[in-house]
């Protein structure tokens, strides 16, 4: 066993001792993981795969409950007001845990005060796709074409103030082109119109477009993360093509109400990290375009706060107002 494995084993042992000191082992009854969007999205997939692994390892049921509404605020409020005992958790994502606080005045919860970060599960880059019939085959060609056709091109998003919207708007601002935003009620509708060539580009979550790219039904122009993805290693990053910093990703992680006891939070972090370290689990997610890495509670908390700074800059740069 390597040093990291020994450290993980020691932390797990200490977490078990800590939970026992509370008078009972954790978990000793079913645990609910709330997803704030409808079934089928990234968060739902991460929650269900994680819940299955936690159930197998703890012999207690981890149940996924979808509570969609108000761009993630409905489910987030529910968990924030739940009993802080480790039995109601949130699968928090970029929208409800970062962007909402920048664009909404009255959320009914504070992502940074009402929750404690437990563990980041996965991070997904966005892939910039275009219709197969588009007259450009790379991001530089798209930019050149957009400059020759001012205000004529459109970019799709799965909704206003979503990561895909902010990524596209920021790209336009950084390279000095004007395009029209076409917000949809979901990524599925946006993808349908890309396939039908009714819009000109779309920053989509990588797992959702792998089949369309491999099936040669859309063109992949660039990736939104700072580094290239293992799924499409030949695909340039936006930063490479425009020569400026550019980073927009989707991510999902586990959060708990802020008063949840630290021993329970630490026990959860250790259990989740042991799953993330499992080669088969890691390979399964990475094959779908999801990047995973083991992380401490402190590392996830720092990442959560760094995302606030990143998205604050982007919302300010495109003058996106709070509502």
Task: Of 91, 98, 95, give the one whose Cα is nearest residue 256.
Answer: 91
pLDDT (tens digit, 9 = 90+) per residue, 75-126?
A: 999 999 999 999 999 999 999 999 999 988 889 999 999 999 999 999 999 9
Q: Which residues, at least 6 apart from 237, have a Cβ–Cβ distance to it below 8 Å?
A: 222, 223, 224, 225, 226, 227, 228, 246
Q: How far apart are CA 201 and CA 204, in angstroms?
A: 9
CATH architecture of the domain 125-242 equals 3-Layer(aba) Sandwich (3.40)
> Stretch 163-185: mean pLDDT, rounded?
93
CA atoms within a 13 Å half-sphere pointing along the CA-CB vector of 309? 5
At residue 175's C-alpha, the angle toward residues 322 and 196, to 5°, is 80
* Residues listed for the chain: 323
Q: Can you give the pLDDT at residue 21? A: 47
Q: Can you give the pLDDT at residue 73? A: 92
pLDDT (tens digit, 9 = 90+) per residue, 236-281?
A: 999 999 999 999 999 999 999 999 999 999 999 999 999 999 999 9
Which pLDDT band holds residue 173 (cuts at 50, 70, 90)?
Answer: very high
More confident: 212 or 3: 212
Give the percent of the chain with pLDDT over 90.
Answer: 72
What's the mean per-residue pLDDT of the chain?
Answer: 90
User: Cβ distance 294 to 277 under 8 Å?
Assistant: yes
Q: What is the 3-state secondary structure (H, E, C) of 33-53?
A: EEECCCCCCHHHHHHHHHHHH
Task: Of 165, 218, 205, 204, give the one whose Cα is nearest residue 288.
Answer: 205
Task: Of 115, 48, 40, 102, give the one whose Cα is nearest residue 75.
Answer: 115
Q: Can you give the pLDDT at residue 197? A: 97
Q: Can you give the pLDDT at residue 11? A: 56
pLDDT (tens digit, 9 = 90+) per residue, 154-169?
A: 999 988 888 999 999 9
What CA–CA distances, in Å, run from 56 to 20, 52, 284? 21, 6, 17
User: Cβ distance 65 to 74 under 8 Å?
Assistant: no
pLDDT (tens digit, 9 = 90+) per residue, 8-52?
A: 555 555 555 544 444 468 999 999 999 998 887 888 989 999 999
**Under DSSP, is residue 60 helix (H, G, I), strand (E, B) or coil?**
coil
User: Where in the chain is CATH 3.40.190.150?
Assistant: 3-124+250-317
Q: Which residues, at least 6 apart from 250, have a Cβ–Cβ distance to it below 8 Å?
A: 42, 93, 94, 123, 124, 126, 163, 205
Q: How far apart are CA 128 and CA 125, in angstroms?
A: 10
Region of 97 (left: φ > 0; alpha: ψ -120 to 50; beta: rest) is alpha
CA atoms within a 13 Å half-sphere pointing along the CA-CB vector of 255? 34
Q: Which residues, at least 6 apart from 306, have a Cβ–Cβ distance to it below 8 Å?
A: none
Q: Can you give the pLDDT at residue 19? A: 45
Which pLDDT band holds residue 315 (cuts at 50, 70, 90)?
Answer: confident
User: Where in the chain is CATH 3.40.190.10?
Assistant: 125-242
* Largest CA-CA distance found in the chain, in angstroms, rounded: 69
Q: How far apart are CA 67 and CA 163, in angstroms?
A: 20
Q: Can you give the pLDDT at residue 2? A: 58
Chain centre distance of CA 58: 26
Q: Can you give the pLDDT at residue 13? A: 54
Q: How far apart are CA 29 and CA 10, in angstroms?
A: 25
User: Cβ distance 162 to 95 under 8 Å?
Assistant: yes
User: Cβ distance 202 to 134 under 8 Å?
Assistant: no
> Stretch 193-200: mean pLDDT, rounded?
97
Region of 174 (left: φ > 0; alpha: ψ -120 to 50; beta: rest) is alpha
Fold for 3-124+250-317, please state it.
D-Maltodextrin-Binding Protein; domain 2 (3.40.190)
pLDDT higher than threshold 60 for residue 153: yes
Task: Indicate the pTM of the whole model.
Answer: 0.83
């Amino acid at each position: 066993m390597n040093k990291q494995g020994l450290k993980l084993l020691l932390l797990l042992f200490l977490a078990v001792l800590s939970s026992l000191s509370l008078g009972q082992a954790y978990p000793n009854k079913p645990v609910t993981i709330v997803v704030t969007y409808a079934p089928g999205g990234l968060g739902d997939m991460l929650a269900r795969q994680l819940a299955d692994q936690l159930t197998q390892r703890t012999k207690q049921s981890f149940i996924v409950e979808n509570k969609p509404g108000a761009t993630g605020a409905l489910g987030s409020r529910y968990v924030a007001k739940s009993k802080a005992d480790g039995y109601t958790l949130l699968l928090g994502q970029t929208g409800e845990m970062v962007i909402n606080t920048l664009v909404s005045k009255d959320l009914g919860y504070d992502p940074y005060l009402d929750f404690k970060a437990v563990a980041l599960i996965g991070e997904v880059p966005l892939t910039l796709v275009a219709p197969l019939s588009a007259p450009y085959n790379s991001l530089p060609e798209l930019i050149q074409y957009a400059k020759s056709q001012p205000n004529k091109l459109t970019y799709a998003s799965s909704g206003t103030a979503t990561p895909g919207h902010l990524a596209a708007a920021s790209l336009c601002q950084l390279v000095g082109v004007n395009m029209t935003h076409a917000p949809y009620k979901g990524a599925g509708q946006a993808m349908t119109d890309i396939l039908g060539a009714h819009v000109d580009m779309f920053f989509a979550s990588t797992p959702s477009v792998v089949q369309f790219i491999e099936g040669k039904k859309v063109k992949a122009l660039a990736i939104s993360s700072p580094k290239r993805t293992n799924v499409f290693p030949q695909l340039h990053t936006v930063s490479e093509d425009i020569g400026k910093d550019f980073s927009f990703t989707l991510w999902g992680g586990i959060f708990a109400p802020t008063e949840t006891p630290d021993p329970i939070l630490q026990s959860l972090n250790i259990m989740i990290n042991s799953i993330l370290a499992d080669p088969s689990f890691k390979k399964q997610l990475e094959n779908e375009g999801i990047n995973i890495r083991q992380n401490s509670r402190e590392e996830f908390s720092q990442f959560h706060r760094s995302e606030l700074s990143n998205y604050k800059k982007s919302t300010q740069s495109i003058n996106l107002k709070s509502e």
